Amino acid sequence: MDFAFTDEQEELIRTLRVFARKELAPRSAHWDKTSEVPWDMWRRMGELGLMGLRAPAAYGGQDGDLLTAGIVIEQVCRGDFSAGYPLQLNWLAEEIIGKNGSDDVKQRWLARAATGEAIVALALTEPGVGSDAANLVCRADKDGGDYVLTGEKSGITLGMVAQAAVVFAKTDAGAKARGVTAFLVPLDLPGVSRSPLRDMGSHAAVRAVLAFDHVRIPASHRLGKEGTGFYQVMQGFDYNRVLIALGCLGTAQASLDETMAYVKERKAFGKRLATFEGVSFPIAEAATHIDAARLLCYRALWLADHQQPYTKESAMVKWWGPRLSVETIHQCLLLHGHYGYTDELPFEQRMRDVIGLEIGDGTAEVMKVIVARELMGRESLPY
């Protein structure tokens, strides 16, 4: 067993920590209050090589491994939780397009995603279908050399600003998962419309409902063979769930670090807050849980990078990481007394931000169904 990061990884952590503290954290509240879309920051993350981490080197990417992706997300989310979204979305798209896209689609989209000039959203959820993703209603009907896309996608992160989306639609209405096909859909095509959702947090991530009214897509924009879309996204979800957990833990750790500094300074009853067990014990407990969850995350990514199964670990951290993050930030907010409840401090924003990932990319209940299935077999499934 080797629990140490390499010298190169340690250097990356140091560099990103400075980036998060100096360039992300000071603007995080502004993005939250104004919902301003931080294109300049996304391009900056492109310049730093972060946006193209999962794109093939031949298309301007880094061909980076998943452990590195985990390090990047954890450190970026120390500065601003929502800055993790464009990274995760573009990485998923880079991977799906890189493995399954035609030359035309790769040429047009991979380099732009890698520089942060383009955001490629991921559109799976529908108004009537979320957890039960194999039962999509959105359909793509073959018509000559094209497909005609009809239906609605809902809850799509960065859906208001993305230039394209990987859209999952049924090409065989009678089949469940095996009837789902993925398409790269430029969102300026005739028949596409978008409307925003008003979320409680991550305002700069502007989620949207995307409507497709007989949108004509060239067959060259189909990603992989018909019927393989569900498997493409589920493979990506396994590692993305770990990245989500690490992002949540990064935000929680930043909150805990700030809280430790605060309680060592602030006095009550003539003593430093840190000397009261009612203050220091919740901090000790949160630090213990975060450390354990982080180790499980990195183990999952290590397994993934070594082509070993990690679905169970991925589902474990996806329900635990966001929950732990919400609880930790809540505790940090309380330890700052009434100031913690104001928007002068970052805790209320961070809580609103991380709660979204208790739902997004698979709810805690669905994750526990997966863990139980991995532990006890399909006999434990309720369906």
Ligand X SMILES: Cc1cc2nc3c(=O)[nH]c(=O)nc-3n(C[C@H](O)[C@H](O)[C@H](O)COP(=O)(O)OP(=O)(O)OC[C@H]3O[C@@H](n4cnc5c(N)ncnc54)[C@H](O)[C@@H]3O)c2cc1C
Give residues in contact with ligand X (CB under 6 A): 121-125, 130-131, 155-157, 207, 356, 359-363, 365-366, 369, 382
For the bound state, the minimum distance from the C-beta of residue 122 to ligand X, rounded and expressed in Å, comes to 5
For the bound state, the minimum distance from the C-beta of residue 235 to ligand X, rounded and expressed in Å, comes to 15
Q: Tokens for 208?
A: 């949207």
For the bound state, the minimum distance from the C-beta of residue 364 to ligand X, rounded and expressed in Å, comes to 7
DSSP letter, residue 308 = -
Residue nearest to ligand X as judged by C-beta position: 130
Nearer to ligand X, 106 or 207 (CB): 207
For the bound state, the minimum distance from the C-beta of residue 139 to ligand X, rounded and expressed in Å, comes to 16
Which of helix, strand or coil describes residue 181?
strand
Using CA of residue 17, residue 76, residue 258, residue 286, what is the dihedral sign? negative
Which of helix, strand or coil describes residue 148?
strand
Nearer to ligand X, 156 or 164 (CB): 156
Nearer to ligand X, 50 or 138 (CB): 138
For the bound state, the minimum distance from the C-beta of residue 298 to ligand X, rounded and expressed in Å, comes to 24
**Other residues' Cβ atoms within 10 Å of the Cβ of residue 377:** 9
Q: What phi and psi values does residue 120 have, to the nearest 5 degrees? A: -115, 110
For the bound state, the minimum distance from the C-beta of residue 2 to ligand X, rounded and expressed in Å, comes to 35
For the bound state, the minimum distance from the C-beta of residue 85 to ligand X, rounded and expressed in Å, comes to 8
Q: What angle do CA 76, 82, 85 make, to 5 degrees?
A: 85
Which of helix, strand or coil describes residue 171?
coil
Give the DSSP letter string of 9-76. HHHHHHHHHHHIIIIIHHHHHHHHHH----HHHHHHHHHTT-TTTTS-GGGT-----HHHHHHHHHHH
For residues 195 and 199, give the distance between their C-alpha atoms in angstroms, rounded to a whole number.
Answer: 13
Q: What phi and psi values does residue 342 have, to the nearest 5 degrees? A: -95, 165
Residue 12, Cα to own-chain centre: how many angstroms? 20
Nearer to ligand X, 101 or 362 (CB): 362
For residues 104 and 287, give the distance between their C-alpha atoms in angstroms, rounded to a whole number.
Answer: 48
For the bound state, the minimum distance from the C-beta of residue 319 to ligand X, rounded and expressed in Å, comes to 10
Q: Tokens for 78?
A: 């120390």
Nearer to ligand X, 209 or 335 (CB): 209
Residues 6 or more apart whose Cβ sits within 8 Å of residue 82 = 28, 31, 32, 202, 203, 204, 205, 353
Nearer to ligand X, 67 or 233 (CB): 233
Look at residues 288, 266, 297 and name the one whose alpha carbon lies nearest to residue 279: 266
Nearer to ligand X, 208 or 303 (CB): 208
For the bound state, the minimum distance from the C-beta of residue 130 to ligand X, rounded and expressed in Å, comes to 2
Nearer to ligand X, 35 or 280 (CB): 35
> Is-contact 332 347, C-beta < 8 A?
yes
Nearer to ligand X, 259 or 314 (CB): 314
